[in-house]
Amino acid sequence: MSGHLSKDPNIDLYVFNRSNRVTKRWLKDFNGLEFELSKDSKNKFNGLITCLKDDSSIVEVLIKNNFIGLLKSNAFVIDHSTTSLQLIQNISSNKKFISNNISFFDAPVSGGEVGAINGTLSIMYGGPNKKISIIESIMQSYSNKITKIGPSGHGQLTKMVNQLCIAGLLQGLSEGVALGKSSNLNMTKVLEAISGGAAQSWQMDNRFKSMVDNKFDFGFAVDLMIKDLKIALEQANLNNLDLKTTKSVLKNYKKLSHDKNGDLDTSSLVKLFNV
């Protein structure tokens, strides 16, 4: 994502990763400057874009490492992480955010590793009705669909819906692949036959063949999905919803993780059928 952003000549881009090795590798391929807390902490920036794995990572970077203090008054933060609603409340109510009038946008993404590499992510975001033209022009560098859902938190709520839909779909796809392989069907012809009908989906187009071939190194990991589904189920509980399918899929993902498969991509659900 930052690689696509680095191609914009109108942006002075500084990059930071908690692993310095990752930053150094990025700088070999793209144009930008390495941000160093010890050297650049006196700089003030117009905006900050974050994409981290969970709530605690966001708190570490924004609060503990004081990245909030690096922002100018009236600056913005675009957070592409998938987080809880409580995290958004904690950040938005932070005294430095309020006193410096910083706009926070929760903007989770969908499209996986392929979408990030190709700059074709789908972004769902929530936040205030200001700076929209600025942040959308930035996000266009690495996405092909940007939708403002509503106020703060609505981006994350939409991502919860997204993850629930993906999880249920992958469970069904896994069961279909398992039945086909155990019946000795020609799975190439099966895909040809069903991918143009009502069963078609992004997951089928992009994961069916790799699931048949038992290849699961394609981005979004099982352990991250476990985190996301837990967040969604917590919200469902607050809404008095009993999401039985999601609970079942989460149990299956936990089994994969327990069996040391937490780094595999989410289509690895099919491994549980041993076909």
- Whether the Cβ atoms of residue 159 and residue 110 lie closer than 8 Å to each other: yes
* Active-site choice (24, 28, 131, 159): 159
Q: Hey, what amino acid is at 158?
A: T
Beta-carbon neighbour count of residue 55 at 10 Å? 19
Selection from 260, 54, 264, 237 nearest residue 170 by Cα: 264
Q: What is the spatial distance between Cα 266 and Cα 221, in angstroms, rounded to a whole number?
A: 6
Q: What is the spatial distance between Cα 76 and Cα 102, in angstroms, rounded to a whole number?
A: 5
Compute CA distances 136 → 45, 64, 108, 132, 262, whole Å: 18, 28, 13, 6, 33
Q: Is 159 a catalytic residue?
A: yes
Q: Which helix (H) or strand (E) holds 109?
A: strand 109-110
231-262 per-residue burial string, b: 16 or more CB within 10 A, e: under 16: bbbebbeeeeeebeebeebbebbbebbeeebb
Residue linked to tokens 């000795």: 184
Q: What is the spatial distance between Cα 67 and Cα 75, in angstroms, rounded to a whole number?
A: 12
225 Cβ contact partners less than 8 Å away, ≥ 6 residues apart = 163, 166, 167, 253, 266
Active site residues: 159
